[in-house]
Chain A
């Protein structure tokens, strides 16, 4: 699976949109971009995933560039409960089946 690069930490004011970037310049055509987050002392929580098109669900939006070399996870109205480590993962379905986590981005929501 392709390697992803994320900033180690970010801050965002409560109520504002949090935009978390991810670079995956070596992603292959059949690799999806998955996002998980992990709140302290809990297991990772699935957020969203996409292949080429932008995706939106009740938690977040995922914007993938046309060349698929980078993506942005958007939390539209951040709350204090969104403080967590966010992981961007390139994952090939029906490949080796394992999620390869990096160290992620520690997002802190500021009151």
Chain B
């Protein structure tokens, strides 16, 4: 069990640029979640996948945001035309339902995005 891996750990970009983050979940975890965390606040849910299907999206996920999990393994989160307000920590988590109940979500250490 190597844990949830997120890349890059830090991303600095200019306003208006596109950015993409990657998340590799714990192997054999069929569920994958994206959260966003701003300074002083707890993480906020963005979206989640069961295998390759995206099952729920938060209202926080504007049209500039898109997430994919093409083969039900790793996932990418892309932000187009970044804005100052997108500066945050983007967290990925994974869990398994393979034992008949939803096991706890386990988080990666996130990607910290800074918009100049």
Binding site for B on A (CB under 8 A): 34, 41-46, 49, 85, 87, 93-94, 96-104
**Bound CA span A46–B4, Å:** 13
**Chain B residues within 8 Å of chain A by Cβ, number:** 25
Q: Is the CB of B56 within 8 A of A97?
A: yes
Q: Is the CB of B108 within 8 A of A43?
A: yes
- A interface SS class: loop
| Residue in contact with B42 in the complex, picked from A45, A97, A104, CB distance below 8 Å | A104
Total A-B residue contacts, Cβ distance less than 8 Å: 54
Q: Quick one: given A44-B43, A44-B91, A101-B43, are A93 and B101 in contact (CB under 8 Å)?
A: yes
* B:93-113 near A, CB below 8 Å: 93, 101-102, 104-110
**Bound CA span A103–B45, Å:** 14
Residues on A with beta carbons closer than 8 Å to the beta carbon of B58: 98
Q: Is the CB of B104 within 8 A of A46?
A: yes
Residues on B with beta carbons closer than 8 Å to the beta carbon of A99: 33, 35, 43, 45, 93, 105
Residues on B with beta carbons closer than 8 Å to the beta carbon of A34: 104
**Bound CA span A87–B40, Å:** 13
Nearest chain B residue, comparing its CB with the CB of A47:
B104
Q: Quick one: given A44-B107, A45-B107, are A96 and B56 in contact (CB under 8 Å)?
A: yes
Q: Is B21's beta carbon under 8 Å from chain A?
A: no
* B:26-80 near A, CB below 8 Å: 31, 33, 35, 40-45, 48, 55-56, 58
**Bound CA span A87–B43, Å:** 10
Residues on A with beta carbons closer than 8 Å to the beta carbon of B48: 97-98
